[in-house]
Amino acid sequence: MKSRRTLYLVVLLLLAGSMPGCGIDIPQLIPPTSTATATLEAAVLRTPTPEPTSPPPETPTPVPLPPRPDDFEQYPDTILRYLNDSGGDEDGLRDMLGSWNALRHVTDLLRVDTDDDGSGELLMVLVEQSMDYGINLRGDVLVVDSDDEGYKLAYHAAGDTIMLDPALIEVDDLNRDGHTEMAFSSTECGAHTCVTTVHIVTSGTGMYESLTGDGINMSYVDPYFSDWDGDGVPELIMHGGTIGSVGAGPQRERTEVYKWDGAVYVLEETVYDYSNYLYFKVLDANQALMDGDYDMAATLYREAVDNPGLNVWLEESEREEIVAFSQYRLSLVCLITGEVELAEATRDELLSAQPNSIYAQVVAVLWDAYQRETNLRAACEQVGRFAASHPEAAEVLADYGYGNPTFTADEVCPIQLFQ
């Protein structure tokens, strides 16, 4: 068992090497050693039937290995022809794909039962030529099945599209419904950013079917499965999400948790990594306010005001703007929670610290209307009208790059808070 566990670790490392990394990936070409491979496969795949199952229907007969087709679209047909001609010579197949440089990892060719019929299929994660290291390698994920008539293509991930930089994540009954899933990814890099799209495919209904629609994507992510909520069923965990461009604005990574809902994988939770940017402190405060978590909102606005150690993005003037906005919001939150004295103190703090700030005007409008009507909703509407005619109010949070949310006049005082 010990050596088996060691092999499992080795395979995990190999799989880690296959995670998309936008050009920094160093694919590890492993020389084919079929005996060791079979053991590795059995170790990595925690499928209901992990052992290589029924042998190919015929005794392999040596046939010449076909040369690499010039056209990547010809790979599947060439593979099928070779398997049928050779009577399913898997060692020969590995040699052939190796000679094409179509396999980047030992686990990119597996025999595993992907359709739960009790016998193993050939699962292949192919790239056009792995010697062309770099980004945007054209690739595909294939499942080749066999019956009395020979070998045939059972699943073809790329279909009529182009699939770039494929990588296998896991083959297992991931959603614990009794059927095996294949999880794999494709990574495409643009000028600034690499985006990885994860697909989870099951054959539980008798045909290969996606449980992730067009895929679940995020930039700069290493996707994996883990039981996030402890219910015994793994979730898909996506951690990453930054954009490699200054124009995108300040960045922070996040974790998105995708949970099986009985039909598809859906976004269950988003958790942002800690960031020392003042801007994100206020975004989190805004979110807490919208969620009705007034204590949290007040705490975060207060920290934005009081903590000079929080970073600005481009220039120090951001701090004055965001602090003034936060003081206005803190005054608003205190009015909502009925802490009128605290609300008033925060208003006065803003009026004396930054009397010329646009948010000094905003807080004055809020308080004038509130004192006139003692109706927060009406006061909030008044603030909305002021913000609509003074675009500089919304601009305070609107210009933090294309990777960050917009901010509009309607959000200066969100009327939804009073519905």
What CA–CA distance (Å, rounded) separates 277 from 42?
Answer: 47
Window contacting Ca ion (CB under 5 A); options: 28-36, 179-187, 293-301, 311-319: 179-187
> Which residues from 180-199 bind Ca ion, rule CB under 5 A?
181
Whose tokens are 């003081």? That residue is: 327
Q: Which listed residue (41, 170, 173, 284) binds Ca ion by CB under 5 A?
A: 173
What CA–CA distance (Å, rounded) separates 274 from 285?
Answer: 13
Q: Which listed residue (231, 291, 295, 306) binds Ca ion by CB under 5 A?
A: 231
CB of 4 to Ca ion, least distance (A): 23
CB of 152 to Ca ion, least distance (A): 13
Binding-residue pattern over the window 91 to 130 for Ca ion, x denoting contact by CB under 5 A: ----------------------x-x-x-x-x---------
CB of 334 to Ca ion, least distance (A): 39
What amino acid occupies position 143?
A: V
Comparing CB distances to Ca ion, the nearer of 179 and 302 is 179
What CA–CA distance (Å, rounded) separates 82 from 89?
Answer: 8
What b/e readout covers 106-127, taking b as 16+ CB neighbours within 10 angstroms?
bbbbbbbbbbbeebbbbbbbbb
CB of 50 to Ca ion, least distance (A): 12
Task: Decide: 32 and 96 in contact? Cβ < 8 Å.
Answer: no
CB of 110 to Ca ion, least distance (A): 12
CB of 196 to Ca ion, least distance (A): 22
What CA–CA distance (Å, rounded) separates 5 from 42?
Answer: 11
Where on the phi/psi map is residue 123: left (φ > 0), alpha (ψ -120 to 50), or beta? Answer: beta
What CA–CA distance (Å, rounded) separates 94 from 85?
Answer: 15
Q: Which listed residue (233, 345, 353, 417) binds Ca ion by CB under 5 A?
A: 233
CB of 5 to Ca ion, least distance (A): 24
Comparing CB distances to Ca ion, the nearer of 30 and 154 is 154
25 is a contact residue toward Ca ion (CB under 5 A): no
47 is a contact residue toward Ca ion (CB under 5 A): no
Nearest Cα residue to 41 out of 110, 144, 103, 119? 110
Q: Which listed residue (227, 261, 291, 410) binds Ca ion by CB under 5 A?
A: 227
Cβ-proximal residues to 43 (8 Å cutoff; 6+ apart), any chain: 4, 7, 8, 11
266 is a contact residue toward Ca ion (CB under 5 A): no
Q: Which listed residue (95, 177, 344, 348) binds Ca ion by CB under 5 A?
A: 177
229 is a contact residue toward Ca ion (CB under 5 A): yes
CA angle 184, 156, 174 (to 5 degrees): 35
List residues near Ca ion by CB under 5 A. Answer: 113, 115, 117, 119, 121, 173, 175, 177, 179, 181, 227, 229, 231, 233, 235
